[in-house]
Structure 1
Amino acid sequence: MAEVAAGEPILDVRDLVKHFPVRVGVLFKRTVGYVRAVDGVSFDLKAGETLGVVGESGCGKSTLAQVLMRLEPPTSGSASFEGREIFRMRGAELRRLRRDIQIVLQDPYTSLNPRMTVGDIVGEPFEIHPEVAPKGSRAGRVRDLLEVVGLNPEHINRYPHQFSGGQRQRIGIARALALRPKVIICDEPVSALDVSIQAQVMNLLGELQDEFGLSYVFIAHDLSVVRHLSDRVAVMYLGKIVEIGTEEEIYEHPMHPYTQALLSAVPVPDPTLRGQRQVIRLEGDVPSPVDPPSGCRFRTRCWKAADVCADEVPELVPRGGGHPSACHFAEERSVVP
């Protein structure tokens, strides 16, 4: 595949849709509806960039990751990597894609095989892609990878249960690095870790990005987590991106009511500033993705909702001279002192 220059899109996603059928019956199952997990998502990822994808649990973030990894087939839409359509790849071309796009999973306690040593876990990609490393050099490569992620290479024969949660996630990162990928999809890689360990893993990911020129799609449910690492941020709600912009645009000049509500819930360390921040409390629960609201999907919880919100789906376009936001009444609102 052709190389992509820094600043150029390496991954381009357009109108991606993933619906899961809802079936009832024991013998003769019939489809009674669809879970609209991802429903028309578009974005691009530039070489060397980190795109944060943020939203509440159940908004479709992990499904998006699975579809991009070809672990789930899309219902419709397209995604291209270095200018070539991902969902049309077969054979050797698909094998190459598996090398170039890797994933770091959420739970370091279940994503590692407890019956395999760390050396076998990190070295397993070389068994699947033997062209990357000759057999005689694999042990040395595994030791180098462990050292790169901050682990002792002498622990190569230990098992996952002998490591802490943060160390296990470093093992997962080393495994993702083994094939020298260009893009790593990080599916909530720090959500299962203590706060102090989260910072260490985030710093490691930043260092690895600088060292190896990686591009990240960084998925999280907490806006405060992705700010340190992300160049741009996409906010998802019920299968759709409702706002996307640079780190400064999203955190300093949020336009969509949902983004403003998420930011207002971010803890403020300084107690003298807590009383100055207006907290936005959303009413009701997240609607079911099987039967989402008409028009704007956020309207059932939005304080700005009007008749037009039920009748028309707001497009994700720049509004008021700002960045793209999918709201008929988008306006900048400061929620963080």
Structure 2
Amino acid sequence: MAPTTEPVLQVSGLVKHYPLTRGILFRRQIGAVRAVDGVDFTLGRGETLGIVGESGCGKSTVAKLLCHLERPTAGSIRFRGEDITGLSGRALKAVRRNIQMVFQDPYTSLNPRMTVGDIVGEPYEIHPEAAPKGERRRRVRELLDVVGLNPEHINRYPHQFSGGQRQRIGIARALALRPEVVVADEPVSALDVSVQAQVINLMDRLQAEFALSYVFIAHDLSVVRHIADRVAVMYLGRIVETGSDAEIYEHATHPYTQALLSAVPVPDPEARARRARIILSGDVPSPTDIPSGCRFRTRCWKARERCALEVPPLAVPPAFRGTPGPAAHDSACHFAEELPAGDCAELGVHGNGPG
């Protein structure tokens, strides 16, 4: 299904801080882990938004916030125009029918004591209005068939399936209530490469069949490019660049995105030898001690004094405003520019920004 401009999800100023406390009898907060620190994006109907970034950048926390597995510290999440951030009880239960999740690990996300039929059919026990009691067994068989599993295996247990088959069970469970939005938190990272392709192709087919919108979270940029219509790059709790797949992969303007792309493996040895590699120095700062100004400046070869003083907005860089083209997309960098091929080694990419 072709994505439309009508948003089904609108996320504004989303924040999640985990308090750090000290003391036993008298506990006091001494700081906070700023896992998500001001995230904004929209998701159109029938669209796939890919969220990428290093481990620890806040991708999975965003997924939990969207599904209300965590309560946000601040910000809002709007579903079909309604603010669902503070919902609870029956109102939250009704919204959860329309926002389902596929978890990262197919081995731990399924109850080993339940049969596949019970796992996929459990949403009908929680939402009995979704299917008449006499129809549930038949619907479970249909879902297993839709995701490429043998309906005759409905009485088997999770340990009797491979990793890829278990993830298909997780996808079937997510589809049971016919949701509008599926949040997929690194759904193929624990699978073999050949199985990854099968699961990605399955999700692509199901999107058209069930009219789904995806928030697809991954650290593998090649996987995201295959399935995503738009891509958002996260670093240390914030989105630093966003645009269409062509804009991000072929015309990246943020230094962090350029560094990520340079690390993507290239199967052709000759092409790999010709490609310059951006190697960042230093480690990712702790989310308990975020750098001032631009949070990427401590690892960026373009960092200047301004980067330590001003937080760059996520907007089209001034250099590209008024000039239509693939580089004119949102990038949170004071010195955003496209990186010509072969320039990586000449830019001093091992240097740190101002302390």
Structure 2 residue 244 is the aligned partner of structure 1 residue 246 = yes
Contact 1:279 1:335 (8 Å CA) reproduced = no
* Deviations, residues 8-40 of structure 1 (Å, cap 9, x unaligned): 110000111110001122232221100000001
Secondary structure of 1:131's partner? helix
Q: Show the counterpart of 2:352.
A: none
Which digits, 9 at most, give the CA deviation of each residue in 1:199-219, with x for residues without a partner?
A: 111110000001111000000
Q: How far apart in 2 are the matches of 1:325 and 1:311?
A: 18
Equivalent position SS for 2:129 = coil
- Secondary structure at 2:130's aligned position in 1? coil
Given candidates 59, 64, 68, the residue that maps to 1:61 is 59
Q: Relative to structure 2, which stretch is displaced further, 327-336 or 149-158?
A: 327-336
Secondary structure at the counterpart of residue 94 of structure 1: helix
1:1-337 correspondence to structure 2 within 5 Å: 6-319=4-317, 320-321=319-320, 322-334=328-340
Q: How far apart are the structure 2 equivalents of 1:164 and 1:271?
A: 33
- After superposition, the C-alpha distances for 1:216-264 in whole angstroms (9 at most, x for unaligned) are 0000112111000000000000000000000000001001000000000
Distance in structure 2 (CA, Å) of the matches to 1:60 and 1:334: 30
Shift of 1:156: 0.3
Percent identity reads 70
Change (3 A) 1:334 1:54: farther
Q: Gaps (5+ residues) in structure 2?
A: 321-327, 343-355
The one-letter code of the counterpart of 2:332 is A
Helix, strand or coil for the counterpart of 1:88?
coil
* Gap regions ≥5 residues in structure 1: none
CA distance in 2, matches of 1:335, 1:31: 48
Query: Could you tell me which amino acid in structure 2 is paired with residue 68 of structure 1?
Result: L
Displacement of 1:269 after TM fit?
Answer: 1.4
Task: Measure, in 1, the Cα distance between the counterparts of 2:305 and 2:222.
Answer: 33
1:334, distance to aligned residue in structure 2 (A)? 4.8
Measure, in 2, the Cα distance between the counterparts of 1:125 and 1:252.
41
**Structure 1 length as normaliser, TM-score?**
0.97
Q: Distance in 1 between matches of 2:194 and 2:79?
A: 35
Aligned equivalents of 1:75, 1:165: Cα separation in 2: 35
CA distance in 1, matches of 2:81, 2:29: 36
Q: CA contact under 8 A between 1:7 and 1:48: conserved in structure 2?
A: no
- Cα drift, residue 301 of structure 1: 0.5
TM-score (norm 2): 0.92
Q: Displacement, 1:335? A: 5.6
Greater CA drift, 235-244 or 69-78: 69-78
Question: Shift of the alpha carbon at 1:90?
Answer: 3.5
Distance 1:283 1:201 in 2: 35
Report the 3-state secondary structure (helix = DSSP H, G, I; strand = E; otherwise coil) of the residue aligned with 1:72: coil
In structure 2, what is the Cα distance between the partners aligned to 1:244 and 1:143? 40
What amino acid is the match of 2:211?
Answer: G
Alpha-carbon separation, structure 2, partners of 1:188 and 1:282: 24
CA contact (8 A) 1:37 1:60 kept: yes
Greater Cα offset, 46-55 or 216-225: 216-225
- Name the CA distance, whole Å, in 2 between partners of 1:108 and 1:163: 10
- SS of 1:87's partner is coil
Give the CA deviation at 1:291. 0.4
Aligned residues: 332
Answer yes or no: is the 8 Å Cα contact 1:263–1:335 preserved in 2: no
Runs of 4+ with deviation above 6 angstroms: none
